[in-house]
Structure 1
């Protein structure tokens, strides 16, 4: 059954030859849950990465859950990143999308993604790389 949401629509913007950005969506298993219970270590780490990769943060929201785990979303002029943790399952979902409006950010997206993997010593359970 087709719905309006499942029908691809080709627009003039979709015919361009350049890729407007890279979006990486992933699920991780993390052997050490110490960094999954509270967002502060991740927030400090990601702020350093944002500066190192010369990205521009325009806002952020983090929330620690009672009993452990956190969620966070960082809005960037280039787009966003988000994280959700489940320490009781040694599990993280993470995504990062950087557009290429001012510069080609594909290598930056990949670099930021790898830095997050290294920060958590993560085993990748699922990974989807989307050229947008």
Structure 2
């Protein structure tokens, strides 16, 4: 298992976190209801204000979704056949990105994960 995700406070206009989640259960990565619940809970745990969300299941497998937050957005794309999910969290607000990222790694039952945080816009 990978180590916990620690994301420093943003110093620029925005901060963009990329999560690479692997070794996730394929059934979970195809369940848009559970994925939407997990993404919304991650937003709430970060202290974000949810505006709306939309998730779509692809045939024969895979899903994509977005949770629009007042502070920006969270997006998710899954490849169940590879046990892989890509998550982006972007914010221009003072919310706790590390809490959301760690929650999603656990909620999607990732056996391994990698992450990167990038400042966006002027400092």
Coarse TM-score class (shorter-chain normalised): 0.7 to 0.9
Say if 2:76 and 2:85, in contact at 8 Å, map to a contact too: yes
The 2-side partners of 1:26 and 1:51 are apart by 18
The 2-side partners of 1:114 and 1:94 are apart by 12
Give 1 or 2 for the bigger CA radius of gyration. Answer: 1
Shift of 1:121: 2.4
The 2-side partners of 1:38 and 1:45 are apart by 11
Query: Is 1:89 matched up with 2:82?
Result: yes
- Which residue of 72, 93, 98 corresponds with 1:110? 98
Segments ≥4 residues shifted beyond 4 Å: none
Counterpart for residue 71 of structure 2: 78
When residues 67 and 24 of structure 1 are mapped into structure 2, their CA distance, relative to the original with a 3 A threshold, is same
The 1-side partners of 2:46 and 2:116 are apart by 22
TM-score where L is the length of structure 1: 0.73
The 2-side partners of 1:82 and 1:30 are apart by 19
TM-score where L is the length of structure 2: 0.78
RMSD: 1.7
Count how many residue pairs are aligned between Structure 1 and Structure 2: 109
Query: Is 1:131 matched up with 2:88?
Result: no
> 5+ residue gaps in structure 2?
1-10
Say if 2:24 and 2:83, in contact at 8 Å, map to a contact too: yes
The 2-side partners of 1:31 and 1:25 are apart by 16
Paired residues for 1:5-24 under 5 Å: 18-24=11-17
Aligned-partner SS, 2:48: coil
